Chain A
Amino acid sequence: MRLPTMNKYTLYKLIARNADLKAERHPMLDKNRFMKFLMAFMWLYYAAILVFLGVVMAMGMKYSYNGVAAFHVFDGGMLWLLICDFWFRFVLQETPAQNVQPYALLPIRRSFLMNVYLARAGLSLGNLYWGFLLVPFALIAIVIPFGWLHSFGWLLGWWLLLVANGYAYLFCRALIMKHLAWTLLPAVIHGALIAIMLVPDKNPLDMPCTLFMYGFFKWAVLPFLCTMAVIAFFYWANYRLQMGMVHDEVAKKEDRELRHTSELSFLNRYGKLGEYMKLEVRQRMRNKSVRMGFLIGLGIMLMFSLVMYFSDVYDNSIMRSFICLYNYVILGMMTLVTIMCYEGNYIDGLMSRRESILQLLTAKYYFNVLLLLIPPIILLPLMIIGKMSVWMNVGYLFFTAGVVYPMLFQMAVYNDNTLPMNTKMTGKQGNMAQQIISMVILFLPLGLEKLAGLLLGEPWGYVLLAVMGIVGLATHRLWLRNVYTRFMARRYKNMEGFRASRQG
C-alpha cells in the first residue's frame, strides 16, 4: 500500500516552522520575558549603532576624500566587514548538521533536509542585518549622487558577498566540529589578510576590492558571476561535508576510550581542594565547548601580541594599556563570565555534598590565578623591546587577580543557565548581565589606570592597580565565602534555572 505523501513545499514549511520554534523556545529565552525583551532591545540597539555608523561613514568619507566617491573608500575596506561578519557568526549561527539530527529517524530524505537547512542559511534574514549599515550608507553615498539603479546593484552585491561569507563560515565551522585544529584555517587566512592590509604603508588590497565592488555598482556581470560561483562552490562543499557530519551527530561519535589519562596526583596533597582543582583541569581538557573557549582566549592573546610586536598600529598609550589588560583578563573572562553555567550540568551532585560550592569556587579562583602566569610569558618580548612596561604588567596582573576576578566571581551568584559542555559551541550562550560585566571589566581598569596615571604620574597608576589587586588577593577567602553564602541564599532559583536550561 502506498502511504500518502506530503508535498515538498508543505514539508519545507513544517521544518522551517520547527526551526523557528527552536530559536523562539531556546532555554535561555524561554525562561523569562525580561530576557526576550533584552534580546530585542540589543537587536535594536546594535541596529541603531549600525545605522549611525552608516550615516557617519557616508558623510565623513564624502568630506575626507575629495575626488574619490565615498563608496569607493568604503569598498576598499570591504574585507574588514566580511572578516567581522565571519567571526560574529560563531555566536549566532548553528550548522545544518546540528539541526538535521532530530529528523534522522523520520521518513524524510536527508538530502532534502540538508538542502532545506542550507537554503535557509543562505536566505536567512541574518544576512540582511548588515543592511542597517549598508542601506543608510548607500542612500547618502550612492542614491543621492548616482541614483537608485547603482545603489541596488551595490547592495545586491553586498548581500551576495555576505551569503557567500555565510556559507564559507558554515564550511569552516563544520571542519572545526571535526577537529579543533581547523580553527587555524580561517584564523590564518584572515590573519594573513589583516597583515597584508595593515603592515605595508599602502593597503595593496584596497584597489582590487574597490574595483570588484565597482562592478556591482555598474551591474557588470563578472563580479555577480564570480560571487555566485563562490556561493555555489561553498553550497556544494557544505552539502558534501555536512551530510557526513549528520551521521556523526546521529551516531554521537566520540572516542570511546581516553587515549591519555593523568592522575594529576600532584594535586592530591591539597586534599578536597585538590580534587576540585582536578575537576577544573579535566573540565577544560575533556569538553569541547570549554576547551574551545580557552583556546580562543589564548589565540586572541597571541594575535594581539604578535600584531603589536611586528607593527606599530597599536603603538599608542590607550591601545598598549588595552592590549596588556586584555591579555590578562581574557582567559578568566572566557570562562568566569559564565561561571557555574557548565556546573549546571551536574549541579544536583555538587549540591548534595557539604560546602562543595565553596570548595569549587576556591579551586576555580586558584586555577585562574595560576593561569595569570601565561600572559607575562607571552608579553615578555614586548617588555624586552620596550613597547610595554614591566610596571604595567605588574599592575594589571595583580589587578586582574584581586579586582577583576572578584567581580567576575559575582556572576556565580546570578548565573542560572546551564551551558552544554561537550556539544559544539552553539549560539546564544551568554545573557545580558554576562555581556555587561564583560564590558565593565574591559573598560573600568583602563579608566582607573589613566585617571591614576594623570593624577599621580607613571608608574603610580600601575602601583595603585597592583595595590588594589593585592588587597583582593589577600582577602580572597572572605569574598569567596561571601559569594558562596549569597549563592546558597539563591540556590533554589539557580538550581531551577540550571534544570530548565539543561539540554539533552
Chain B
Amino acid sequence: MEIIIKDLKKTFGEKVAVDIPALTIRSGELLGLVGNNGAGKSTLFRLMLDLIKADTGTVCMKAGSPLPAPPLGECSSAAAPSALPFSENEALPQRGSGEGAGWSGEAINVAETEVWKDWTGAFVDESFLIDYLTPDEYFHFIARLTDTSDEQLQAFLDEYQHFMADELAGQKKLIRTLSAGNKQKVGIMAAMLLQPKVLILDEPFNFLDPSSQNAIKHLLQKYNKKTGATILVSSHNLQHTVDISSRIVLLEHGKVIQDIDNREHQAQSILENYFEINE
C-alpha cells in the first residue's frame, strides 16, 4: 500500500507542525521517521490516520507496486468509492482479498472515507487502548472487529508469546494497571493483529526493556518481509531506526529535512552528524 502526501500543512496557532509539499511512501517500505521533540512526527501520524484536520493538503492511500517508486499519484474525492462520505454505500474490501477501493489502484483520501481503516493498524499513544479491558479481552475485541477468527487470534498470540513474556496473555489484570511497557506491547500487538497493509507506530521502543526492544525490531522486519506491508515507525532511538528502516525521513519543524535511502544502512553517519552525537 502506497501513501501519498501532497501539500500537507498543519499549524497550531503560529507554530507550523507539519509542512510537507510532497512525500510518497512506497508500498512495502519500512520508513523510519526521526527528528527532535516538536518536529511534527506524531502530528504527521495523526494526520495520516485522519485524527486531526489538515489545514491544507491530502493524505492518500493507494495499492502500489513495490520499489522503485511510481510517479506521484493524484488523489481526490472523485477517486473515493462513494460520493457521500461515511455512508453505508462504501465498498467494503475484505481483508487481504485485494478487492475494493484502494486495492484496485484508486487513491483514497483518508479524510473522505473510512475504507482504509480496514487495512491500517496503528498505535500512537494510550488513547488507542480501552484500559478497562484485560489484554485478552482487548485482543478479542480487536479480533472480532477485524473478522479474525478465534483460531487466527490464538495463532497470533502464540507467535507473539515471546514478546508478551508471560505478562499479558491469560492475566486478569486490566490494561490500566499494567506497566507503561506492557501497555505499549498491548498497543503494538493490537495494531498488528489485523495483519495490516499499513502499520503506523509512534515511538514503539519507548518504555520497553532491551529484550522487548530487540524483539519488536525483529517482529517488524519479519512482518515487513513476510507481508510486504508498508510500515512507518517514528523513534528517538537512532540505532534501532537505522537497523530496521529501508528509508529514513528526517523531520524538523514540520518539514522534511532529509530523505535518506537506508537499504545499506547508510543513514547512520548522516543522522549522527545531524544530531551531533559524536561531538
**Residues of A near any B CB (own CB < 8 A):** 254, 256-258, 261, 271-272, 274-275, 278-279, 282-283, 286-287, 345-349, 351-356, 421-422, 481, 484-485, 488, 492, 495-496, 499, 502
- Kindly list chain B residues whose C-beta atoms are within 8 Å of the C-beta of A351: 49-51
Contact B127 A272 (CB under 8 A): no
Measured CB to CB, the nearest residue on chain A to B84 is: A485
Q: Which of B261-275 contact A (CB under 8 A)?
A: none
A148 to chain B, nearest CB (A): 55
Task: Produce 1/0 per residue, B114-140, CB < 8 A to A.
Answer: 110110101011011111111001001
Task: Produce 1/0 per residue, B154-198, CB < 8 A to A.
Answer: 000000000000000001111011000000000000000000000
Contact A279 B172 (CB under 8 A): no
With A272-B145, A488-B85 in contact, is A352–B174 under 8 Å at CB?
Answer: no
Q: From B117, B124, B177, give the contact of A354 (CB < 8 A).
A: B117
- Kindly list chain A residues whose C-beta atoms are within 8 Å of the C-beta of B132: 282-283, 286-287, 421-422
Contact A346 B145 (CB under 8 A): no
Instruction: Count contacts between A and B, CB distance < 8 Å.
Output: 88
- Kindly list chain B residues whose C-beta atoms are within 8 Å of the C-beta of A352: 49, 51, 117, 120, 122, 128
Contact B172 A257 (CB under 8 A): yes
C-alpha gap A115/B131 in the complex (Å): 35
Contact B129 A257 (CB under 8 A): no
Contact B85 A282 (CB under 8 A): no
A-B contact pairs, 28 of them (CB 8 A): A254-B176, A257-B173, A258-B134, A258-B172, A261-B134, A271-B144, A275-B140, A275-B141, A275-B144, A275-B145, A282-B132, A282-B137, A345-B127, A346-B130, A348-B49, A348-B125, A348-B127, A351-B49, A352-B122, A353-B145, A353-B146, A354-B117, A355-B86, A355-B114, A481-B88, A488-B85, A492-B52, A495-B51
Q: From A258, A278, A422, A488, give the contact of B173 (CB < 8 A).
A: A258
A-B pairs, 9 with minimum CB distance? A492-B53, A349-B128, A354-B117, A348-B127, A286-B132, A354-B114, A258-B172, A488-B86, A275-B144
- Kindly list chain A residues whose C-beta atoms are within 8 Å of the C-beta of B92: 354
Measured CB to CB, the nearest residue on chain A to B121 is: A352
Known: A352-B117, A353-B146. 20 other contacts (CB 8 A): A254-B177, A256-B173, A256-B177, A258-B173, A274-B144, A275-B144, A278-B141, A283-B132, A348-B49, A349-B128, A349-B129, A354-B114, A354-B118, A355-B86, A355-B114, A422-B176, A481-B88, A488-B85, A492-B52, A495-B51
Q: From B49, B51, B87, B173, give the contact of A485 (CB < 8 A).
A: B87
A211 to chain B, nearest CB (A): 52
- Kindly list chain A residues whose C-beta atoms are within 8 Å of the C-beta of B49: 348, 351-352
A397 to chain B, nearest CB (A): 30
- Kindly list chain A residues whose C-beta atoms are within 8 Å of the C-beta of B50: 351
Measured CB to CB, the nearest residue on chain A to B146 is: A353
- Kindly list chain A residues whose C-beta atoms are within 8 Å of the C-beta of B118: 354
Q: Which of B65-113 contact A (CB under 8 A)?
A: 85-88, 92
Measured CB to CB, the nearest residue on chain A to B86 is: A488
- Kindly list chain A residues whose C-beta atoms are within 8 Å of the C-beta of B137: 261, 278, 282
C-alpha gap A275/B141 in the complex (Å): 6
C-alpha gap A352/B145 in the complex (Å): 11
A403 to chain B, nearest CB (A): 25
- Kindly list chain A residues whose C-beta atoms are within 8 Å of the C-beta of B134: 258, 261
Contact B145 A356 (CB under 8 A): yes
With A257-B172, A275-B145 in contact, is A345–B177 under 8 Å at CB?
Answer: no
B198 to chain A, nearest CB (A): 11
- Kindly list chain A residues whose C-beta atoms are within 8 Å of the C-beta of B87: 485
C-alpha gap A313/B62 in the complex (Å): 69
C-alpha gap A499/B133 in the complex (Å): 21
C-alpha gap A492/B176 in the complex (Å): 26
B92 to chain A, nearest CB (A): 8
B242 to chain A, nearest CB (A): 28
A423 to chain B, nearest CB (A): 11
B192 to chain A, nearest CB (A): 13
C-alpha gap A492/B49 in the complex (Å): 12
Contact B124 A348 (CB under 8 A): yes
Q: From A258, A346, A484, give the contact of B131 (CB < 8 A).
A: A346
C-alpha gap A283/B131 in the complex (Å): 10
C-alpha gap A227/B53 in the complex (Å): 58
B121 to chain A, nearest CB (A): 8
- Kindly list chain B residues whose C-beta atoms are within 8 Å of the C-beta of A257: 171-173
- Kindly list chain A residues whose C-beta atoms are within 8 Å of the C-beta of B131: 345-346
- Kindly list chain A residues whose C-beta atoms are within 8 Å of the C-beta of B172: 257-258, 261
- Kindly list chain B residues whose C-beta atoms are within 8 Å of the C-beta of A485: 86-87
C-alpha gap A278/B145 in the complex (Å): 13
C-alpha gap A495/B131 in the complex (Å): 18
C-alpha gap A334/B132 in the complex (Å): 20
Contact B130 A279 (CB under 8 A): yes
Q: From B51, B141, B177, give the contact of A279 (CB < 8 A).
A: B141
Q: From B115, B129, B133, B144, give the contact of A272 (CB < 8 A).
A: B144
Measured CB to CB, the nearest residue on chain A to B87 is: A485
- Most A-side CB within 10 Å, residue of B120, B127, B140, B146: B127
C-alpha gap A257/B171 in the complex (Å): 8
Measured CB to CB, the nearest residue on chain B to A283 is: B132
Q: From B52, B85, B171, give the contact of A495 (CB < 8 A).
A: B52
Contact A346 B144 (CB under 8 A): no
C-alpha gap A354/B122 in the complex (Å): 13
Contact B52 A496 (CB under 8 A): yes
Measured CB to CB, the nearest residue on chain A to B54 is: A492
